[in-house]
Structure 1
Amino acid sequence: MPDTHRLDELRHPQVESYLDRAETPTALIPVGTTEQHGEHLAMGTDAFIPTEICERIAEDVDALVGPPINYGASDMHAGYAGITYLTYRTLATVVHDIAYSLAEAGFTDIVFLSGHLTNDWAAKVGANQASHDLPEENYVYAFPYWDALSGDDMEEYLSFDAGWHANIGETAAVMAIDEDLVDLEETAFDAPDLPMDIENPAALLDHLLIGKGAYYRISETGVWGDPSDATAELGEEYFETITHAVAELINTFQDVRDEIYQRQRPDRAQEQW
């Protein structure tokens, strides 16, 4: 294989060679957005981070990385200048069609790695629809990269303490990719005043962010958290943690799924299928 694992940078014979060689031909598809991240952070943040993760783990999971989906289900940011978004239905269809065509081309596993919270809702619908339409030996699934993190790591990167958007975690990660994409002099601190005495305050997130233009309701600056202490070095530490966790999750799923599915699938369900 050449140095790159980017599907769009490889020539057709190189892709054929990978598909012939790989035990589990896998495509990693970053799913991002083009949306505001305060005044200090590039609008492509939610695409840059999962793309970087996919490229870093490609060798460890023996995968090729497809071009990122740079538009996402981010209508909650509608109203800010330059926002470009897809409807949830459209994003689900895009995910379905990409997965179907990649499976048709010879990939057995297609993984959509999201960098934006509400992308996950649509991406999982699209992945599920593709799974219905593809042979049983194909696996299509989607998850946001932070789902692989432990509770402690999540607390430091994305949380009520660290913030949820354009915060120190996202800002540091982008700085590790390219410091020119960040202007720390423009950072602002903002956070909605949420009641923290309920059983699970994180359960409020989906409700707060649902609906067109919803982000204006919770943040005047477009930021949720304090990004001012972000550094490229901190971002590199985050990437080391995140990439290990995501690669481990994908590899573990590939290792155990056939045994688990075979053991837990009732014979009568096989007959119905």
Structure 2
Amino acid sequence: MLLAEMTWPDFDDRAHQGRAILPIGAVEPHGPHLPLGADTMISDYFARRLAADIDALIVPSIGYGVATPSQRLGGTFPGVIAVSGSTFTLLVTEIASALAEHGVRQLVIVNSAIDNLSFLCETARIVTAAHPGTQVMIVQWWDVVGEGFRNALATETGVARGDDHHAGMVESSLVMHVAPDTTRPELIDTDSTGLGARRFSYDVFPLPADAATPSGIVYTAHTASAEIGVRVADQVALEMAAAVRLEFGIDTAGA
């Protein structure tokens, strides 16, 4: 299932079955309680669950993404290691093109860093135009988790969805489940004053001081837990697999 652990004959056989998953993340701060590589860890986790469901090989993950604006990170903190949009697009395009040349006709990109998205869409356009018959699907966990599920979770925890973004309650819970040894739950409430940060629906460079949070939690991770993370993970895995099966025409018998 893991491309990096296959011999070339094994890879040749699997590639010509036509289905692969490419996990993509980023290296950037996620508050004081989550690791810099949280996005990549999340993508790797869901890639494994999806591969088991749809019988696909997993390509080595790309752990570097496009820099996220400071507003979405809650401010400017050490730990951003990013590449330019042009470099990122070229890298992913060349990887996806190589897979298509080896016989992969259905590629799922599991992405967990929002600012990668437009560049991934450009990759998909380039690859599908150059390789007729190839399908590229880009899936992000927060898009498939479901509105009803998120609304119910917000009601249950008392954490409004408007307060629950980058390194917030849901993402923190998810990482606490998928990579528990990398988290610092005792630091979750350090950003309680961050709820008062000024909010706006546009980007300003540099970020105004009154819009920054104390430690990069946007805007609260209060009530986060591994138990909630299990529920989020199961919901996302279920909905992600259903979406991929729908778009790629995979039935249970054909997985």
TM-score (norm 2): 0.83
Q: CA RMSD in A?
A: 2.4
Contact 1:175-1:182 at 8 Å conserved across structures: yes
Query: Structure 2 unaligned runs (5+)?
Result: 251-255
**Which structure ranks higher in relative contact order (CA pairs < 8 Å, sequence separation ≥ 6)?**
2
Q: Of residues 37, 50, 53 in structure 2, which corresponds to 1:44?
A: 37
The amino acid of 1:169's aligned partner reads: V
Q: Of residues 118, 142, 148 in structure 2, which corresponds to 1:146?
A: 142
Q: Which residue of 2 aligns with 1:234?
A: 228
Q: Which residue of 2 aligns with 1:107?
A: 104
* Change in 2 beyond 3 A, CA 1:249/1:26: same
Which residues of 2 match residues 1-273 of structure 1 at below 5 A?
5-20=1-16, 22=17, 25-77=18-70, 79-134=76-131, 136-155=132-151, 156=153, 160-161=161-162, 163-187=164-188, 188-189=191-192, 190-191=194-195, 192-194=197-199, 204=201, 207-208=202-203, 214=207, 217-255=211-249
1: distance between equivalents of 2:236 and 2:178?
A: 14
2: distance between equivalents of 1:215 and 1:32?
A: 27
The share of aligned pairs that are identical, in percent, is 22
Contact 1:168-1:226 at 8 Å conserved across structures: yes
Q: Give the CA deviation at 1:71.
A: 0.7
Contact 1:120-1:143 at 8 Å conserved across structures: no
1: distance between equivalents of 2:60 and 2:160?
A: 29
Number of equivalences: 236
Q: Give the CA deviation at 1:244.
A: 0.6
Query: Structure 1 unaligned runs (5+)?
Result: 196-203, 257-273
**Aligned to 1:110, what secondary structure does the other structure show?**
strand
Task: Identify the range of structure 1 (49-58 vs 170-179) with the bigger mean alpha-carbon deviation.
Answer: 170-179
1: distance between equivalents of 2:160 and 2:10?
A: 41
2: distance between equivalents of 1:52 and 1:36?
A: 19
Q: Give the CA deviation at 1:144.
A: 2.0
2: distance between equivalents of 1:178 and 1:147?
A: 21
Question: Residue by residue, what CA displacement relative to the aligned partner does 1:124-168 show, whole Å, maximum 9, x if unpaired?
Answer: 11111222222x211123232222232122444897345111011
